[in-house]
Amino acid sequence: MFKIVEKSLLAENIYKLRIEAPRVAQSALPGQFVIVRVDEQGERVPLTIADYDKAEGTVTIVIQTIGASTKKLCALNEGDSIADFAGPLGNPSEFVHLPEEELRSRRYLFVAGGVGTAPVYPQVKWLYEHGVKADVIIGAKTASMLIYTEEMAKVANLYVATDDGSYGFHGLVTAKIKDLIENEGKHYDECVAIGPMIMMKFVTLTTREYSLPTTVSLNALMVDGTGMCGACRVSVGGKTYFTCVDGPEFDGHQVDFDEAMRRQSMYRSQEAQANEKHNHKCNCF
């Protein structure tokens, strides 16, 4: 069993859980994920690692309550335990393997949208700890939906963009990318985008205009998390890969996003049925 040592509400329906998992924390690297199972009857839920503390032996995950399993997980409180917390899984971000001299010479731009802001944080934090201060754009529809802004500002040059202009730059993250490059004269060696699939698609279309290499994380496609179910198949450069074992990060300019979005919607009917069943159980108490 894995104990929840901290729980907090980040925004509406978005929770942060810090889990006591020493072995996972000891081996974790930016870009990897864990598989969580609330109890013996629960489904396997792949979640990207949002932070880890090797000394304390804890791993942080951020969950948006969308389906039955995430609602069940977020209903737990500090002191409660979950049955399974397996990981770290997937390949870490490629920059963790770069020689230190090369790493420090590179300029990174991270683009984070919604809950995708959480897995951006450990990457930016790792870079900061290794002498690289990246630029980060966090995007949200409105100010109340922003998360991790304070944490990110401590380890990066932070820019915030809101669709409605309620905080920071008024506009989409793609417009802010153009603003940084064209109006502020920024130059980047690599962009990393994590967020909704449609956001990542348009980020890659934007960065292609500047011949800016772009990495995207396709963690939202994962179902089983082991490569056995085949649900996370994705076409990259005309070849088929499995997000959970070959990724979750890929060259964004090579990803077939239209296919990925179709695949992402394949299980909506099953998710709706599970959600309805969960809500019915809750209303019975």
Distance CA 270, CA 68 (A): 11
- What string of H, E and C letters represents the secondary structure of the chain? CEEEEEEEEEECCEEEEEEECHHHHHHCCCCCEEEEECCCCCCCEEEEEEEEECCCCEEEEEEECCCHHHHHHHCCCCCCEECEEEEEECCCCHHHHCCHHHHHHCCEEEEEEHHHHHHHHHHHHHHHHCCCCCEEEEEECCHHHCCCHHHHHHHCEEEEEECCCCCCEECCHHHHHHHHHHHCCCCCCEEEEECCHHHHHHHHHHHHCCCCCEEEECHHHCCCCCCCCCCCEEEECCEEEEHHHHCCEEEHHHECHHHHHHHHCCCHHHHHHHHHHHHHHHHCC
Q: Which residues of the chain have pLDDT under 50?
A: 269-275, 278, 280, 283-285
At 160 the pLDDT is 97
At 261 the pLDDT is 87
User: Whole-model pTM?
Assistant: 0.87
Locate the domains of the chain by residue range. Answer: 2-89, 94-217
The matching CATH number, chosen from 2.40.30.10, 1.10.1740.10, 3.40.50.720, 3.30.930.10, for 2-89 is: 2.40.30.10
- What string of H, E and C letters represents the secondary structure of 48-60? EEEEEECCCCEEE
Neighbours of 9 (CB within 10 A): 10
At 272 the pLDDT is 42
At 275 the pLDDT is 42
At 270 the pLDDT is 47
Neighbours of 277 (CB within 10 A): 11
Tokens describing residue 193: 């985008």
* Equal fold, 2-89 vs 94-217: no
Does domain 94-217 fall under CATH 3.40.50.80? My reply is yes
CB 17 within 8 A of CB 60: yes
Produce one character per residue of 259-270: b if its CB has 16 or more CB atoms within 10 Å, e if not. ebeebbeeeeee
For tokens 């001299």, name the residue: 101
Can you name the residues that pair with 255 across neighbouring β-strands? 236
CA angle 20, 124, 171 (to 5 degrees): 115
- State phi, psi for 171 to the nearest 5 degrees: 150, 180
